[in-house]
């Protein structure tokens, strides 16, 4: 209890520490937090908040870190006084409640890992973070000393007028106190992304490049990383039966190679099929936490049903993937892939990038926000998210871009842009890119089969399109070919190129050779 008292948590009814998945599932069911599915996973509903709530995330404005942070719409400040008062209210709220504590690691590389303690109001959320972080061995728990703490109390509702928040929900990060407070939202993703934000602040100070990406490794030890926002295919495309999965979402790139921050995966379930995504399908079993999926009375899912949200999710341990690499560390990447889901349907399904083009595309972070990944998003919207991770980057974008450029140059990586979005027309007209073809393009990139093919320069987007790719029809490779209305394609492509150019103007200090590597409006 003494360590919880240090967090201001007094008089808890019962404190359950580092329970097994079986015990946590038992508690969650007993507490009425969810139901058991036919495959043994626990199914829960997150209520009002079915995705991250970026407008409710704040960083405490403290003198020691003030000059480090890129303050603005993403990193909104909250005062130390407001944070202290909310902290006091949350700890008072938690009195006389059963609490669940998980001690775990963020970071598979022992040189860079972070000890994290998570205190949960709900047993199922404690199971979730048990799945998503790296679980210490029994002997490692003796004398475990947390370097960062997270208190997650979804049942506590903030008062915006009194607390200085934007709603009843709040995600508050204090880098000085090494404490995260989560209130008002039951969405499990807030917990894992808080850890990611912390790592994005700490690791660049140690010359480690934190990345919003998935990663896998081939039989010969060749490592590949896949950048992309939620819904672009990071989890699906990295779960390759012919390669070892390092991780599906958050990694660091250091002098030692690539390492996973997490010990699990948080995959989307919407329209999930056993045929297309067998690894994820089979991972939904006892010990997994399913969020906002519709189940019938016998515990059978309907993954096509978006009644609650498009952003249906499952969290499961990495070892549930048969070909997972544990410990989840790989060597220096040979291939870097940027994933985008282009709602305009004008970007090529695959394009090769030189270093300058890679820097431009990375800083731009173009994709379409897909329905449900954030509150209020009901259909795809074109968006630019700096470094494919803007909501989680406390430091200026230039620091992360600098780290990428250094790595590409040092290790001579091949870089590709892959469009998993629309083809033959924009959203509502064209069709979503065939997963079969996307997988074939990814395989060709990873196997080096595109290094010797002929390329043509896209005059609008200023990227190199391969004229051929194994197991992909040639007419699919150039997006212009699959539009029936060529004039409409030209208009849409130039409109998107113009958006790229306008967006990039915010990066005032970017070298001209990187600016010149972008689309031509």
Catalytic residues: 52, 193, 212, 230, 234-235, 249, 313
> What would the two tokens of residue 442 be?
């990814």
Give dist(CA 484, CA 387) in Å, integer: 33
Give dist(CA 257, CA 369) in Å, integer: 30
Query: Considering Cα of 265, then 238, then 223, then 327, what sign does the dihedral take?
Result: positive
Cα–Cα distance list, 8 to 93, 178, 194, 282 (Å): 11, 14, 20, 41
Helix axes 397-411, 355-364, angle to 10 degrees: 150
Report the relative pairing of strands 250-254 and 114-120 from DSSP bridges: unpaired
Report the relative pairing of strands 57-60 and 170-174 from DSSP bridges: parallel
Give dist(CA 58, CA 508) in Å, integer: 25
Is-contact 493 460, C-beta < 8 A? yes
Q: Cβ atoms within 10 A of the Cβ of 459, count?
A: 10
Residue ranges of the alpha helices (H) in 219-262? Answer: 234-238
Closest CA to 47 of 197, 248, 184, 208: 184
> 220: buried, middle or exposed (CB in 10 Å: 19+, 13-18, 0-12)?
exposed
Give dist(CA 299, CA 313) in Å, integer: 16
> What would the two tokens of residue 201 be?
């602040």
Instruction: Name the one residue in this structure whose structure tokens are 């870089």.
Output: 415
């Amino acid at each position: 209890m003494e360590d919880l008292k240090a967090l201001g948590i007094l008089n808890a009814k019962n404190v359950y520490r580092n329970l097994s998945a079986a015990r946590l599932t038992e508690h969650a069911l007993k507490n009425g937090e969810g139901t058991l599915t036919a495959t043994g996973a626990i199914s829960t509903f997150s209520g009002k908040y079915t995705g991250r709530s970026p407008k409710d995330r704040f960083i405490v404005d403290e003198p020691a870190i003030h000059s480090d942070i890129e303050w603005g719409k993403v990193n909104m400040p909250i005062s130390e006084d407001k944070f202290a008062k909310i902290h006091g209210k949350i700890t008072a709220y938690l009195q006389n409640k059963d609490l669940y504590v998980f001690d775990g690691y963020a970071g598979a590389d022992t040189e860079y890992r972070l000890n994290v303690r998570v205190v949960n109001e709900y047993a199922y959320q404690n199971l979730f973070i048990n799945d998503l972080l790296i679980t210490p061995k029994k002997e490692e728990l003796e004398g475990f000393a947390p370097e960062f703490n997270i208190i997650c109390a979804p049942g506590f509702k903030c008062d915006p007028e009194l607390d200085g928040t934007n709603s009843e929900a709040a995600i508050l990060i204090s880098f000085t106190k090494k404490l995260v407070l989560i209130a008002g939202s039951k969405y499990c993703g807030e917990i894992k992304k808080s850890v990611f934000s912390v790592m994005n602040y700490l690791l660049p100070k140690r010359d480690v490049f934190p990345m919003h990406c998935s990663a896998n490794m081939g039989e010969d030890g060749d490592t590949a990383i896949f950048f992309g926002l939620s819904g672009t295919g990071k989890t699906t495309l990295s779960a390759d039966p012919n390669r070892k999965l390092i991780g599906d979402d958050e990694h660091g790139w250091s002098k030692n190679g690539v390492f996973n921050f997490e010990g699990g995966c948080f995959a989307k379930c919407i329209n999930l099929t056993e045929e297309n995504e067998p690894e994820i399908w089979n991972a939904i079993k006892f010990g997994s936490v399913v969020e906002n999926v519709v189940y019938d009375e016998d515990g059978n899912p309907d993954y096509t049903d978006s009644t609650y949200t498009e952003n249906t999710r499952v969290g499961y341990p990495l070892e549930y993937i048969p070909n997972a690499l544990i410990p989840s560390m790989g060597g220096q990447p040979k291939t870097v892939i940027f994933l985008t889901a282009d709602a305009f349907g004008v970007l090529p399904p695959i394009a090769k990038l030189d270093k300058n083009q890679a820097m431009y595309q990375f800083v731009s972070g173009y994709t379409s926000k897909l329905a449900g990944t954030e509150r209020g998003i009901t259909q795809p919207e074109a968006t630019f998210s700096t470094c494919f991770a803007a909501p989680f980057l406390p430091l200026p974008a230039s620091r992360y871009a600098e780290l990428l450029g250094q790595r590409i140059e040092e290790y001579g990586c091949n870089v590709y842009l892959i469009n998993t979005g629309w083809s033959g027309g924009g959203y509502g007209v064209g069709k979503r890119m065939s997963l079969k073809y996307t997988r074939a393009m990814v395989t060709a990139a990873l196997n080096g089969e595109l290094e010797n093919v002929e390329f043509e320069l896209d005059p609008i987007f200023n990227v190199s399109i391969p004229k051929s790719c194994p197991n992909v029809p040639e007419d699919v490779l150039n997006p212009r070919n699959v539009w029936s209305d060529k004039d409409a394609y030209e208009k849409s492509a130039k409109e998107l190129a113009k958006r790229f150019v306008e967006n990039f103007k915010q990066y005032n200090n970017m070298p001209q050779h990187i600016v010149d590597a972008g689309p031509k409006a």
